[in-house]
């Protein structure tokens, strides 16, 4: 038997969106660095993103080798444009349910791959609740990889279970999330529709969330992209009260990438990384604000204009990432900038149209603040970089992450999203609060402490004097759960029962 065949083989199956694919590649790297054979399953149009994020074997630190396999995505069958295989390219929100329906058809082709490659374990995204049963069919354990933090996992599950918004009429009345440590209050407007109101559309989401929760409980366990020291109370709550077997292994974005690898994470960057670094090198430590709303948020032009005016009024240096909405209509795209903006901002502000090397930028010492939509990856990347944040959530789990950053960690200021738009005065005010004055210094000091803790959590031990960080240790723990010979689990339908 060849050496390759004796290795523990793990299949990774991320949801088709950057916010899930990128941390999954990071996670696969962590396992591969321990000698695990890692295979990521994706669809043809997502393969270039995955491959670029993995990197070339010869340029990858630790000589990590990660394999990929593809399965066909039925875009056309569900009225999606040809090649629309990633949540960031769904042309309009009304087509999102079609995308989710198409996703459910991936079960059969995934099972074909499990049959042919017989891996020892399947690590799959929570949006594939059926993956637990798929793994069970082949007698292997399924682990859920949840690209969310423990606080938000607990808060969302409590909202789903206790339905505190059921009889609340007002959208803006703060309501305590029952039985969650910390007296956390959220308004109806801040929680996902399926947890706030019952209607036909929301019922389908609610059903999916219920299935996800059930699959999580039935699975071998949950890998969480966060570190215990950041949110110990909620990491414990998730296990002890919500009954999940869980390992916090993050921040996975700190998975030992060199500069080039950081620049290659995700889509091809719309700026040369050297140009970006030169620009940052020319600025003082903590003097630059980084503004990005992740891979999916699209603002109308009027909102982009307000942001431009707010930034200018704040007087800060900035790097602002604007997602290109219509790649072939550049002229129209420029309309959102106030007249003469770019000329006035020369040397002061850098606009990146498209995709930015986010982790590379955030990790630069010149960056001193982050305006974020609070996607969990961005939030944790901000924590890892030790920068205070202006929180500007737009939906999904992002309002929960905002609560966590502003109230639990105390390292952020909410921009104050209430209606459809945020005005320039509010933007300027929030930006100044995280970049200037005593409050900013206090938040930055706190943020730096969390960043230090994050780095310690992922630190490798040396098997002698230096013990590994908690997150690093947790990856080892998961790996050791599956020594090869024990992988054939007797009970065909309940593999987790044998192993737990
Ligand atoms: N990202 C990036 N460049 C961009 C936009 C996003 O590298 O221009 C990365 C970012 O570092 C993060 C991920 O894409 O790892 C986005 O995930 P997040 O959960 O923050 O937000 P989502 O895109 O899922 O809303």
**pLDDT tens track for 337-357:** 999 999 999 999 999 999 999
Q: Is it the case that residue 499 has pLDDT exceeding 50? A: no
Taking residues 96-107, what's their average pLDDT? Answer: 92
CA of 183 to the centre of ligand 1 (A): 30
- Identify the band that residue 202 occupies on the pLDDT scale cut at 50, 70 and 90: confident
Sheet holding 66-70, edge to edge: 66-70, 37-42, 9-13, 121-124, 142-146, 221-224, 246-248
Q: Is it the case that residue 117 has pLDDT exceeding 70? A: yes
More confident residue, 301 or 1: 301
Tokens of 327: 């790649």
Is the shortest distance between the CB of 349 and ligand 1 below 6 Å? Answer: no
Q: Is it the case that residue 485 has pLDDT exceeding 50? A: no
- Identify the band that residue 93 occupies on the pLDDT scale cut at 50, 70 and 90: confident
Atom of ligand 1 nearest to the CA of 17: 24
Q: Is it the case that residue 377 has pLDDT exceeding 60? A: yes
Is the shortest distance between the CB of 358 and ligand 1 below 6 Å? Answer: yes
C-beta contacts of 187-196 below 8 A and 24+ residues apart: 189/418, 190/393, 190/399, 190/400, 191/159, 191/165, 191/399, 192/156, 192/395, 192/396, 192/397, 195/156, 195/159, 195/160, 195/163, 195/165, 196/165
Distance, in Å, from the CA atom of 215 to the CA atom of 226, rounded to the nearest integer, reads: 21
122 three-state secondary structure:
strand
CA of 320 to the centre of ligand 1 (A): 14
pLDDT for res 192 = 85
Taking residues 152-166, what's their average pLDDT? Answer: 94
Is the shortest distance between the CB of 60 and ligand 1 below 6 Å? Answer: no
Atom of ligand 1 nearest to the CA of 376: 19
Taking residues 312-320, what's their average pLDDT? Answer: 97
pLDDT for res 500 = 37
Q: What is the DSSP letter of 81?
A: P
Tokens of 10: 């793990």
Taking residues 363-379, what's their average pLDDT? Answer: 98
CA of 169 to the centre of ligand 1 (A): 34
Is the shortest distance between the CB of 355 and ligand 1 below 6 Å? Answer: yes
Taking residues 155-166, what's their average pLDDT? Answer: 94
Q: Is it the case that residue 322 has pLDDT exceeding 80? A: yes
- Identify the band that residue 497 occupies on the pLDDT scale cut at 50, 70 and 90: very low
Q: What is the mean pLDDT of the chain?
A: 90
pLDDT above 90 covers what percent of the chain? 76
The answer to whether residues 333 and 342 touch, using CB atoms and an 8 Å cutoff, is no
pLDDT for res 331 = 52
Atom of ligand 1 nearest to the CA of 378: 20
Other CB atoms within a 10 A radius of the CB of residue 308 amount to: 22
- Identify the band that residue 57 occupies on the pLDDT scale cut at 50, 70 and 90: low
- Identify the band that residue 389 occupies on the pLDDT scale cut at 50, 70 and 90: very high
pLDDT for res 321 = 97
pLDDT for res 194 = 78
Is the shortest distance between the CB of 376 and ligand 1 below 6 Å? Answer: yes
410-424 confidence digits (pLDDT tens):
999 999 988 789 999
Atom of ligand 1 nearest to the CA of 22: 15
7-17 confidence digits (pLDDT tens):
899 999 999 99
Distance, in Å, from the CA atom of 370 to the CA atom of 408, rounded to the nearest integer, reads: 18
Q: Is it the case that residue 53 has pLDDT exceeding 90? A: yes
Least confident of 16-25, 52-61, 244-253, 404-413: 52-61
CA of 282 to the centre of ligand 1 (A): 25
- Identify the band that residue 61 occupies on the pLDDT scale cut at 50, 70 and 90: low
CA of 474 to the centre of ligand 1 (A): 25
Single out the residue of 316, 326, 313, 382 nearest to residue 347, CA to CA.
Answer: 316
pLDDT for res 263 = 87
Q: Is it the case that residue 491 has pLDDT exceeding 70? A: no
- Identify the band that residue 486 occupies on the pLDDT scale cut at 50, 70 and 90: very low
Other CB atoms within a 10 A radius of the CB of residue 133 amount to: 15
pLDDT for res 59 = 47
pLDDT for res 258 = 82
Between the two ends of the chain, the Cα-to-Cα distance in Å is 29
The answer to whether residues 186 and 399 touch, using CB atoms and an 8 Å cutoff, is yes
Is the shortest distance between the CB of 321 and ligand 1 below 6 Å? Answer: yes
Atom of ligand 1 nearest to the CA of 23: 15
Taking residues 277-290, what's their average pLDDT? Answer: 97
Residue 357 C-alpha from the chain's centroid: 15
Tell which one of 292, 295, 322, 355 to mutate to probe ligand 1, the residue whose CB is within 8 A of the most ligand atoms: 295
């Amino acid at each position: 038997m060849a050496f390759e065949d004796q290795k523990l083989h793990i299949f990774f199956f991320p949801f088709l969106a950057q916010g899930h694919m990128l941390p999954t590649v990071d996670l696969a790297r962590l396992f591969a660095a321990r000698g695990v054979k890692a295979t990521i399953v994706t669809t043809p149009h997502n393969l270039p993103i995955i491959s670029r994020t993995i990197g070339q074997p010869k340029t990858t630190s630790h000589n990590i080798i990660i394999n990929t396999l593809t399965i066909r995505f039925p875009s056309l069958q569900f009225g999606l444009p040809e090649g629309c295989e990633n949540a960031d390219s769904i042309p309009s929100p009304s087509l999102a349910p079609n995308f989710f329906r198409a996703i459910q058809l991936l079960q059969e082709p995934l099972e074909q791959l499990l049959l042919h490659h017989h891996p020892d374990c399947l690590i799959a995204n929570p949006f594939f609740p059926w993956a637990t049963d798929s793994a069970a069919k082949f007698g292997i354990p399924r682990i859920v990889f949840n690209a969310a933090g423990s606080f938000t996992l607990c808060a969302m599950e409590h909202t789903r279970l206790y339905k505190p918004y059921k009889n609340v009429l007002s959208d803006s009345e703060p309501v305590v999330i029952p039985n969650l440590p910390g007296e956390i209050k959220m308004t109806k407007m801040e929680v996902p529709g399926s947890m706030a109101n019952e209607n036909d559309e929301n019922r389908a989401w609610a059903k999916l969330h219920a299935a996800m929760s059930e699959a999580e409980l039935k699975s071998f366990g949950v890998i969480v992209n966060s570190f215990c020291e950041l949110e110990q109370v909620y990491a414990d709550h998730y296990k002890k009260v919500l009954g999940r077997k869980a390992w916090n292994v993050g921040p996975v974005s700190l998975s030992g990438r060199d500069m080039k690898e950081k620049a290659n994470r995700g889509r091809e960057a719309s700026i040369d990384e050297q140009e970006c670094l030169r620009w940052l090198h020319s600025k003082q430590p903590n003097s630059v604000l980084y503004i990005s709303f992740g891979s999916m948020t699209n603002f109308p032009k009027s909102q982009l204009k307000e942001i431009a005016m707010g930034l200018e009024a704040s007087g800060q240096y900035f790097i602002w990432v604007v997602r290109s909405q219509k790649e072939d209509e550049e002229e129209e795209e420029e309309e959102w900038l106030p007249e003469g903006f770019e000329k006035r901002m020369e040397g002061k502000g850098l606009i990146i149209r498209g995709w930015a090397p986010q982790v590379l930028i955030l990790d630069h010492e010149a960056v001193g603040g982050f305006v974020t939509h609070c996607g969990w990856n961005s939030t944790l990347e901000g924590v890892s970089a030790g920068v205070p944040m202006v929180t500007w959530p737009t939906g999904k789990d992002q309002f929960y992450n905002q609560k966590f950053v502003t109230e639990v960690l105390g390292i952020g200021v909410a921009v104050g999203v209430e209606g459809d738009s945020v005005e320039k005065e509010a933007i300027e005010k929030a930006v100044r609060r995280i970049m200037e004055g005593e409050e900013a210094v206090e938040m930055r000091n706190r943020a730096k402490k969390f960043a230090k803790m994050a780095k310690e959590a992922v630190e490798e031990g040396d098997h002698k004097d230096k013990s590994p960080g908690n997150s690093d240790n947790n990856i080892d723990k998961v790996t050791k759960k599956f020594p090869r010979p024990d992988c054939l689990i007797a009970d065909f339908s309940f593999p987790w029962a044998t192993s737990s």
